[in-house]
Amino acid sequence: MDNIETSQSGDNKILKRIKELADQGIITREQVLVLFPEKDKKASKESDFSFQKIFYFLGALIIILGFTIFISQFWMGQNEPIRVIFTLALTLTFYTIGYYLYYASSKLRVFSNVSFILSNFLLPLGLITFFDLVSFPLLEYRYISLYFFILFIIYDISFLLLRNNIFLLFSVVSISGLFLSSVTLLAGELSLDVILYSLVILGLGYFALAERFKSYRKNLVNIFHLLGAVFLLSSTFALSFDSSLWLFAFPVLLFISFLISIVRKNRILLIFSIIFTFAEIDRITVDFFSDNLGWPISLIIAGFSIMFIGYLGYSLNKKYMKRV
């Protein structure tokens, strides 16, 4: 026991001496890190991997852009039957290539994902062209619902087979379109209130999906948080202009979103809470203070309020947020 305490005391003295030398500028951080080559090597590999991901992303973006231009150029000079055959055949081709690359090697997953993205973007175009060819009136909500239902079934089956995040994301987008078209069909008319309340439900649904997939689909969680924040806060903010209930409920919702962002350490929700708080301050300034206090005083109040909210958001982000 005495030997252990003596060893720990010696280690503390060494560390203290190193700190003193570093404070005096006699040794540098780089000189100390030379003693830990394995950690440096690991950090270097992580940096190289991130650099590689950037090039993969840029390359994939350029490939998708190139195919988009190619398809649009071919598309313009063809009749509808050729467009349907070409689009659906190309969709199946990209899907098959992606499927093969997905199982061929884990190193080829990035190329399979590019193929899946191209296939998933072409499928809606092919279906629209097919519906137009067989004279399905897509302007009628029941046919729009059928269109999104077919897309959802195809994307969802693909996700169940491959467990690929790309198909999950497209499934969510298609089921969102199915929900909006079905609500409009049941309501019998397309009104602003129907759209806004549907977006409120969609926003809550996206937050529920983020909660559902937070442990094993982390790449999509931020996307769901982003969509949830945009749909929920923008729709309730719009509702607050014509509804006394939402006029008082929206500030409460903002407070709750601030609270949740802190408790869950969610930077995305915090950012959008700040943005819509700015919008709410501007609206309150225009509606309640501009006539009574005049525009100069109102603008001064709004400016100080925005500065305070900005400082508060910065402080909360620095103190509570984690990297997302």
pLDDT of residue 155: 94
Alpha-carbon distance of 1 to 8, in angstroms, equals 11
pLDDT of residue 324: 43
pLDDT of residue 246: 85
Alpha-carbon distance of 231 to 133, in angstroms, equals 34
Closest by CA to 67, choosing from 55, 78, 59, 77, is 59
The residue assigned the tokens 């950012």 is 271
pLDDT of residue 201: 93
pLDDT of residue 197: 92
pLDDT of residue 44: 46
Integer CA distances (angstroms), 92 to 89, 98, 118, 127, 307, in order: 5, 10, 10, 13, 54
pLDDT of residue 205: 93
Arithmetic mean of pLDDT over the chain:
76
Is pLDDT of 5 > 70?
A: no
Q: Between 307 and 324, whose confidence is greater?
A: 307
- Would you place residue 45 in the very low, low, confident or very high pLDDT band (cuts 50, 70, 90)? very low
Q: 176-230 pLDDT, tens per residue?
A: 999 988 888 888 777 788 889 999 999 999 999 988 887 766 778 888 988 999 9
Q: 255-302 pLDDT, tens per residue?
A: 888 788 777 777 788 888 878 887 777 777 666 555 555 545 555 555
- Residue 187 CA from chain centroid, whole number: 30
Alpha-carbon distance of 195 to 180, in angstroms, equals 8
When pLDDT is averaged across residues 5-28 and rounded to a whole number, the result is 63
Rounded to the nearest 5 degrees, what angle is found at the Cα of 50, between the Cα atoms of 161 and 117? 35
Count of positions (residues) in the chain? 324
Is pLDDT of 144 > 90?
A: no
pTM of model > 0.75: no
Q: How many helices (H) and strands (E) does the chain have?
A: 13, 0
- Would you place residue 28 in the very low, low, confident or very high pLDDT band (cuts 50, 70, 90)? low
Judge contact between 259 and 316, C-beta under 8 A: no
- Would you place residue 92 in the very low, low, confident or very high pLDDT band (cuts 50, 70, 90)? very high
